[in-house]
Amino acid sequence: MKTVRVIVLMLLVATMAAMAQQRGTPPPPDPRDMGGGRCAENPVNCKDAARPIAGIDSVWLEELTWMDIRDAVKAGKDTVIISTGGMEPNGPYLASGKHNFVLHANCEAIARKMGNALCAPIIKLVPEGNIDPPTSHMLSPGTISMREETFRMMLEDTARSLRKSTGFKKIIFIGDSGGNQAGMKAVAEKLNAEWPDTVVAHIAEYYTYNEVTKFMESQGIKTDPAKSEHMHDDPIITLNMLIDDPQSVRWDQRVKANKATIDGFSIADKKKVLDLAKKVVDHRADVTIEAIKKAVAAKSKASNK
């Protein structure tokens, strides 16, 4: 009798161990799985599942569900815009994320005007100077700088991820800061050469502030060099931020303190400057879109040779 009890106990322990091992073993891959769960456990985790609720009107990947993104790509959105900003000092009035506010307004405008594009999350950490010993913007509090190799790896991994996970056929890099341009250009050229079926382009025309300034002079923005405040700020960048978030340029505080000017240009009339700000965004979007079209055409021409 004692022997029987021992055998039963051993079988019970073995069974429990097998069950525990089975629970700890991941299930075999299921090609239907998507959305962070298992298709076998909930049909909303199946790659072809219909959205259970209506989507939202957004061009930003981080604001969309995986189903929203899947359906947008199926509907023809084959282009993703990867933008790079920064964290740096910009005088006493502009937020340190200046370039990121600008890009939030501009990437949205570009994507909506194109109709077939979505915006990746803005890459906000970029080269801003040597970290130790600090140089350039790293001499000011709040600055975050990436080593050039780190920045380029982040750009490359972002592009590779979006091509693989989502199937974008056109990957566009735009940068709102001078120190970002070389890295984006190098990564775009590398990947464009590697992928014959995918356009990867750095749009240098996006970052042409001199051209934007000249255009806006024709729209009524006149500055007096004699009134330059010699700050890391100017009317164009202020307007481009203002239309995204007035708080980013401290509009309320500046008006109250009678400081609502930059280089002799007043931003106190909010309606007037918002109308001008829209022209800044629209012009930058139009110039960028034309350059994107040329880059796509160039890849198509090269592929047909």
| Secondary structure of 235-304 as H, E, C letters | HHHHHHHHCCCHHHHCHHHHHHCCCCEECCEECCCHHHHHHHHHHHHHHHHHHHHHHHHHHHHHHHHHHC
Strands of the sheet containing 199-202, edge to edge, are: 117-119, 79-84, 170-175, 199-202
Indicate the SS3 state at residue 164: helix
Task: Name the β-bridge partners of 33.
Answer: 46
CA atoms within 13 A on the CB side of 183: 26
CA 284 to chain centre: 17
Give the residue ranges of DSSP H helices in the chain.
2-24, 66-74, 98-114, 148-166, 181-194, 209-217, 235-242, 251-256, 270-303
For residue 31 the two structure tokens come to: 């090609």
pLDDT for the residue 12: 45
Question: What's the CA dihedral at 75, 76, 78, 83 to 10 degrees?
Answer: -80
Q: What values do phi and psi take at 171, rounded to 5? A: -120, 115
pLDDT for the residue 305: 67
Q: Give the dihedral sign, CA 110/280/216/113.
A: positive
User: Would you tell me which CATH number, out of the four given (3.40.1160.10, 3.20.20.70, 3.40.50.300, 3.40.50.10310), belongs to the domain 53-303?
Assistant: 3.40.50.10310
pLDDT for the residue 10: 35
Identify residue 84 by its one-letter amino acid code.
Answer: T
Distances (CA, A) of 193 to 152, 169, 179: 16, 14, 23
Task: Give the separation between CA 279 and CA 286, rounded to whole angstroms.
Answer: 10
The domain locations on the chain are 53-303
pLDDT for the residue 225: 84
For residue 286 the two structure tokens come to: 């139009």
User: Among candidates 88, 249, 286, which has minimal Cα distance to 178?
Assistant: 88
pLDDT in tens, the chain (305 residues): 545 453 443 344 344 434 444 556 777 888 999 999 999 999 999 999 999 999 999 999 999 999 999 999 999 999 999 999 999 999 999 999 999 999 999 999 999 999 999 999 999 999 999 999 999 999 999 999 999 999 999 999 999 999 999 999 999 999 999 999 999 999 999 999 999 999 999 999 999 988 999 999 999 898 888 888 999 999 999 999 999 999 999 999 999 999 999 999 999 999 999 999 999 999 999 999 999 999 999 988 777 76
**Would residue 221 be called left, alpha or beta, if left means φ above 0 and alpha means ψ between -120 and 50 degrees?**
beta
